[in-house]
Structure 1
Amino acid sequence: MTIQDAQGATAPAAPAVHLRTVTFAHPDAVALNDRVQLEYAERYGDEGDVTFLDPSMFEPPRGLYVIAYDENGTPLATGGWRSMDADGEGYSDGDAELKRMYVTPEARGLGLARRILAVLEQDARDAGRTRMVLETGTKQPEAISLYTSTGYTPAPSKFGHYRFDDLSLCYEKPL
């Protein structure tokens, strides 16, 4: 299945790039997730993000996982959302959590993260979710810039696996 850009996307369209819904266990998703984990390890000097992610968490209608491909079928960027509700980790009923947003170094600057983010936000909204939340880190200034420039604000309290980590930042945006 190919996804069209969400209405209102403000980033310029990258030529010959299309977004496709895939499973979290898809080989391209696994490969991109391995790459983002390596980047986390390089930036933070540890094993990367150890948040447990079951592939079924990203299956519609309770989630979605998307990959951007170039005209040759090369995966360039990825991201997903999963439904989260009130629990002991600080989430609220109606939350959609953004996970594994990543753009390969060679595709950065093409607006792919903004395109994927717009699609994920619209899909979560259509699924009845009321707030998009995310965790990022202090050593990811590109991510912080993306999120703050698209309407995300610091969450009033931290949530998720890294809620007690000083390097963790939590953001939210009403859907």
Structure 2
Amino acid sequence: MTWIIAPEAFDSPDATSLRRDYYAEVASRYWKRPATSEEIDQGLAGDGAELLAPPTGQFVVGRYGGEVAACGGVVMLDATRAELTRVYVRPVLRGRRGASLLLNVLEDEARRLGARRMVLNTRLDLIEARSLYVRHGYAEIPAYCTGPYMEIWYGKDLVCQVSAAQTGSV
């Protein structure tokens, strides 16, 4: 089985399904109970996903053995800084290197949009995500934005490099 991770419209049926699953998981963990379908709809309404398309950003979908499995996006905050967002791998497909490959592709997409630095915000309870970011060279930074679900911020300089995604071995 192999991963294929590629840009896809944030509102395609597969991308929408992944975005719903992402929101359901992070909201359920935050509320410590399953999010309802109505709450997921509410959370996705006006969430700024339209920025996840060039020239302001990019959204990618990952498939594992052809199965829709992962997603993530980048949004340009200014001419040289991109924000990593909506990074998600379906639970049944975790532990198969998908998250690392997803980050590599998203960093490449940010570079293509002109970013030289990637930043992100997350919550303290999302320990797996925080561990992933640190393993990939992200370091804690001062807050660059505020919001009710933002508790820790990370940043990483994007050096010019060729990742596995660019060489076709994803």
- TM-score tier, shorter chain, comes to 0.7 to 0.9
Secondary structure in 2 aligned to 1:120?
Answer: helix
Q: Which amino acid letter does the alignment assign opposite residue 70 of structure 1? A: Y
Equivalent runs, 1:152-171 vs 2, <5 Å:
152-162=138-148, 168-171=151-154
Q: Provide Cα deviations, 1:10-38, integer angstroms capped at 9, x if missing partner.
A: xxxxx322112111111111111111111
Residue of 111, 114, 125 corresponding to 1:139: 125
Query: How many residue pairs get matched?
Result: 150
Q: Which amino acid letter does the alignment assign opposite residue 168 of structure 1? A: E
Q: Tell me if the contact between 2:23 and 2:43 (Cα under 8 Å) persists in the aligned partners.
A: no
2:17 corresponds to 1:31: yes
Q: Provide Cα deviations, 1:100-154, integer angstroms capped at 9, x if missing partner.
A: 0000011000111111111111121132112101111111110010000111011
Unpaired runs of 5+ residues, structure 2, are: 159-170
> What's the counterpart of residue 47 of structure 2?
53
Offset of 1:62 from its aligned partner?
2.7
> What's the counterpart of residue 81 of structure 1?
74
Q: Which amino acid letter does the alignment assign opposite residue 20 of structure 2? A: D
2:108 corresponds to 1:125: no
Offset of 1:66 from its aligned partner?
0.8
Q: CA RMSD in A?
A: 2.2
Offset of 1:82 from its aligned partner?
0.9
- The CA distance in 2 between the partners of 1:152 and 1:168, in whole Å, is 15
Q: Provide Cα deviations, 1:25-68, integer angstroms capped at 9, x if missing partner.
A: 11111111111111112211076795843343111233111111
> What's the counterpart of residue 67 of structure 1?
61
Secondary structure in 1 aligned to 2:145?
Answer: coil
Structure 2 vs 1, CA of residues 138 and 55 (structure 1 numbering), >3 Å: closer, same or farther?
closer
Worse-matched range after superposition: 101-110 or 150-159: 150-159
Worse-matched range after superposition: 29-38 or 152-161: 152-161
2:151 corresponds to 1:151: no
Offset of 1:160 from its aligned partner?
4.5
Q: Tell me if the contact between 1:135 and 1:160 (Cα under 8 Å) persists in the aligned partners.
A: no
Secondary structure in 2 aligned to 1:154?
Answer: strand
- The CA distance in 1 between the partners of 2:101 and 2:146, in whole Å, is 25
Q: Tell me if the contact between 1:158 and 1:169 (Cα under 8 Å) persists in the aligned partners.
A: no
Q: Tell me if the contact between 1:18 and 1:69 (Cα under 8 Å) persists in the aligned partners.
A: yes
